[in-house]
Amino acid sequence: MTPMGASDESAIASTAARFDAPVSVLEPIARDLTRQMARGLVGEPSSLKMLRTFTRQPSGHERGRVMVVDWGGTKARAGLVELGAGGVTRIVAEEALTFSESDKRGAPEPVFDLIARAVGRVARGHGVTAAPLAFIYSYPARLERIDRAVALASTKGWRLKGLEGQDVAVLLGAALRRAGLDRIVVAAVANDTVATLMLQSYRARGRDAGAAPADVGLILGTGTNLAADLGPAGIRNLESGNFDGVGAVGTPYDAALDREIDEPPPGAQRFEKMVSGHYLGELLRRALEDLGKRTGQFRWSASPAFTTPFALDSASLSRIAADHTAGLDDVAAWLRSLGASSTPEERWGVRALTAAIARRSARLVAAALVGTLRFLDAELADRRTIAVDGSVWGGYPGFEALVREAIVELLGGERAGRIATAYVKDSTGAGAAVIAAVAVAQRSE
């Protein structure tokens, strides 16, 4: 290890600066997103799919017990949820499942069987023999009805053989029957962003029938996406992770990441690859590896703990950002756990890169939110609520403040002041139940 010299310091600073996203660059990104929403909605070429959801805002009076399945990453959950008075939801029971890397590349049926068996355990444990089930499928899917969802190309590292083109409600229904659960019926399929939006609306309207519903649902976790209530065009799933208007803030690390990972393929999920939890650690890893080669520092970044793709996760970034000790003691401990003994200067370098990567993520999210809200209301004259969930939003220290700062830069304080964000933690299961209850009500009308 060589002592940190001025040239190493400036290499670190200039690497961090590659992740800058000034407002002059964010503004055209926001405008592009608004334009691409319009194009996607009328079926013109667009990186935004603007998928239909076949649900409508809840009244807040929905009641009942619903089985839910939440599948959107390495984990899935089966649960039983109760909707009560006053916008209150209760998770009666829940069971989590973890999938292996090989599950992600195999046939769909074994995955659906694992999920169905978990539903069976939760149902039997609570004497449920017949119930509607809401299936939160947090990958791109083209809904044709509330209970018919044709899988499109997957995201977040999943590629089940032959899944694309199949109705995921039919696949889950068949697995439920194989598990002996004939009377648990898939009543609704929805995206997690829609669940977040609907849960926020349900809570607000359950407390006060006249309350405005949420306008936008945002997930910022392993993946990212937006849903928005477009009024006459209904609630739409933008699949904003695929937004491609981000070239102006791309670094060489983004370009290499996009090129080198095969799932999602190059060119797909460009926005998600820059902002979501599945990728933030990987961007840090690539930046460290590069600095290790170009400077006299970070030599440990040549060890397998750092050269393996996806070796660093976004929880590590949150941990790095949360260390407020003078010597960055916890960053040191984290590095030690990966076999690296670091200097204080190196730790400050790691922290600077982490902050730059997270800040760019927050600023891109802000641009996407502004672009979406302007589609709803070009002048941003009315109050708007964005319902948010996800591990990056909830876990990275100060993330929300970074997003707000960029929204203020983009819109000015007055307009930004009309935009509220509501963090709806663990919204998927409860939001799913709201969607199923709305579907049941819609059917009986």
Point out which residues bind ligand BGC (CB under 6 A): 72, 138-140, 155-156, 191-193, 219, 221, 223-225, 239, 241, 272
Distance CA 289, CA 296 (A): 12
CB of 166 to ligand BGC, least distance (A): 16
> What is 370-387 written as a DSSP string?
HHHHHHH-TT--S-EEEE
CB of 152 to ligand BGC, least distance (A): 9
Token output for 169:
């409600």
Taking the least distance from each CB to ligand BGC, the nearer of 140 and 371 is 140
CB of 140 to ligand BGC, least distance (A): 5
Can you tell me which residue has the tokens 């996806």? 310
Distance CA 213, CA 16 (A): 39
CB of 361 to ligand BGC, least distance (A): 14
Taking the least distance from each CB to ligand BGC, the nearer of 87 and 217 is 217
For 176, half-sphere exposure in the C-beta direction (CA atoms, 13 angstrom radius) is 28
Nearest to 19 by CA among 274, 243, 265: 274
CB of 194 to ligand BGC, least distance (A): 9
Taking the least distance from each CB to ligand BGC, the nearer of 191 and 372 is 191
CB of 7 to ligand BGC, least distance (A): 40
Taking the least distance from each CB to ligand BGC, the nearer of 62 and 70 is 70
Taking the least distance from each CB to ligand BGC, the nearer of 12 and 33 is 33
Q: How many residues does the chain have?
A: 445
CB of 323 to ligand BGC, least distance (A): 28
Terminal-to-terminal C-alpha distance of the chain: 72
Distance CA 30, CA 436 (A): 33
Can you tell me which residue has the tokens 């090129």? 259
Nearest to 147 by CA among 428, 438, 439, 430: 439
Taking the least distance from each CB to ligand BGC, the nearer of 219 and 435 is 219
Taking the least distance from each CB to ligand BGC, the nearer of 223 and 349 is 223
| Cα dihedral: 359, 253, 104, 238 (round 10) | 50
Taking the least distance from each CB to ligand BGC, the nearer of 272 and 290 is 272
CB of 96 to ligand BGC, least distance (A): 16
Tell me, rounded to whole angstroms, the distance of Cα 384 from its chain centroid: 20
Token output for 178:
């194989």
- What residue ranges in 245-313 does DSSP mark as E strands? none
Distance CA 382, CA 369 (A): 15
The DSSP letter of residue 265 is: P
CB of 11 to ligand BGC, least distance (A): 33
Nearest to 219 by CA among 428, 19, 25: 428
Taking the least distance from each CB to ligand BGC, the nearer of 32 and 239 is 239
Residue nearest to ligand BGC (CB): 223
CB of 365 to ligand BGC, least distance (A): 12
Taking the least distance from each CB to ligand BGC, the nearer of 139 and 298 is 139
How are beta strands 64-71 and 184-190 bridged, if at all? unpaired
Q: Is 292 helix (H, G, I), strand (E, B) or coil?
A: helix
